[in-house]
Amino acid sequence: MSETSPRLRAVLEGIPTYKPGKPAAAGGPASFKLSSNENPYPPLPGVMESALAAAGTLNRYPDMAATELMNELSERFAVPVSHLATGTGSVGVAQQLLQITAGPGDEVIYPWRSFEAYPIVVRISGAAAVEIPLTPEETHDFDAMADAITERTRLIFVCNPNNPTGTVAHRDELERFLDRVPGDVLVVLDEAYREFNRDLDVPDGIDLYRDRPNVCVLRTFSKAYGLAGLRIGFAIAHEPVATGLRKTAVPFGVSQLAQDAAVASLRSEDELLDRVASLVTERARVVEALRAQGWTVPETQANFVWLRLGERTTDFAEACARAGVVVRPFAGEGVRTTVAEVEANDLFLKAAEKFRQEL
Ligand code: PMP
């Protein structure tokens, strides 16, 4: 066998592999996975029926244009089909957005801490990652983000609500920021958790996109719609961007199961949004209880809560695991916990209270 191995792009060396949230321990004490911001509810029966019906066509390639879904989304959001593109989860679409905008020598700005996939997809593109720390209130520092724009900037991520803090960007600050971004820089409004927002001062990215050709909105079926396992997300953007996304799509990357389940979900939206409403109610209960225990909890508009624990992060995550809940630690920074079913949230609150008392 040859001693040499294929020469890979040097850029790969600095790129971590995406780390998924830990699964819940099998067979252990009641164990809940609160580490990936998933929806605790199983798909609605009608959604499962659609997916099962699509399973009967698995010998065929899916509809590459996702015609039915595109038409459904076009009507629902009042956007032309030519402004829509789907992908293998919104993270797949995010990777394509990098592919069509940035490469070696370019720069991409994003808030940090934010979604763990941003540094990965940026570095894969070969562009330089420009990370702008969150403010002390755990929100986007839009002044610093705008100040960081150079002639090399090609793309900027805004995560609204932000993962993992749950904090939001408000209309005034976001519009002021967009006004400062040159028209040839793409701003990606990642709204993976949009449906959980109840703050009326948070703009709908789709309203912002309409008269701004450099704004792209990213949405997903993974969270509020509960289809994380099917890998389907979409972007809304003006034509050159949406066309670029269609060019860079992995051919047939979005299965017919995913497309049909997404359509069925949109058609059962009322029921799904009722579930979202109950998670929002649980979120308020969890935040209130944590604050009553003495924790500082940033205002969250997503389906998770953020505790900045610093050096105690890993200990806290381990204490939660012993109590039967798997949370998401970011070593040295904090812990993100998904708001899920009452029983899981109760176990988490109990673990948090015990940890606090033992401090
Ligand atoms: N954006 C944000 C902010 C996220 O937190 C996630 C999932 N963790 C995604 C995008 C990707 O979701 P998906 O690829 O499942 O659509």
Residue written as token pair 């995406």: 18
Query: For the chain, which domains are there?
Result: 19-43+268-358 (3.90.1150.10), 45-267 (3.40.640.10)
The pLDDT, as a whole number, for residue 9 is 92
Atom of ligand 1 lying closest to residue 94 CA: 10
Distance 193 CA to ligand 1 centre (A): 8
Atom of ligand 1 lying closest to residue 93 CA: 14
Q: What is the ipTM of this complex?
A: 0.99
Q: CA dist 235 to 64, 77, 218, 257, 327, Å?
A: 15, 12, 5, 19, 29
CB 163 within 8 A of CB 38: no
- The rounded distance, in Å, linking the Cα atoms of 323 and 164 is 22
In this structure, the residues whose C-beta lies within 6 A of any atom of ligand 1 are 37, 89-91, 115, 159, 163, 190, 192, 220, 222, 228, 233
CB 319 within 8 A of CB 285: no
- The rounded distance, in Å, linking the Cα atoms of 128 and 148 is 12
Q: CA dist 92 to 3, 51, 257, Å?
A: 35, 21, 17
Atom of ligand 1 lying closest to residue 91 CA: 14
The pLDDT, as a whole number, for residue 90 is 97
CB 148 within 8 A of CB 132: yes
The pLDDT, as a whole number, for residue 205 is 98
pLDDT tens-digit map of 172-229: 999 999 999 999 999 999 999 999 999 999 999 999 999 999 999 999 999 999 999 9
Listed as ranges, residues in the chain with pLDDT below 70 are 25-30
Q: Which of 259, 165, 192 has the alpha carbon at shortest distance from 39?
A: 192
- The rounded distance, in Å, linking the Cα atoms of 165 and 199 is 15
Give me 221's structure tokens.
């079926």
The pLDDT, as a whole number, for residue 222 is 98
- The rounded distance, in Å, linking the Cα atoms of 284 and 84 is 34
Go through the chain and tell me how many residues it has.
359
Phi, psi of 176 (to 5 degrees): -60, -40
Name the strand (E) or helix (H) holding 281.
helix 269-292
Closest residue by CA, ligand 1 atom 2: 192
Give 219's strand partners: 234
Q: Is 334 helix (H, G, I), strand (E, B) or coil?
A: strand
CB 230 within 8 A of CB 257: yes
Hey, CA dihedral for 301, 305, 308, 314, is it positive or negative? negative
The 3-state DSSP composition of the chain as helix, strand, coil percent (nearest 5) reads: 45, 15, 40
Provide the b/e sequence for 212-235 (b: ≥16 CB within 10 Å): bebbbbbbbbbbbbbbbebbbbbb
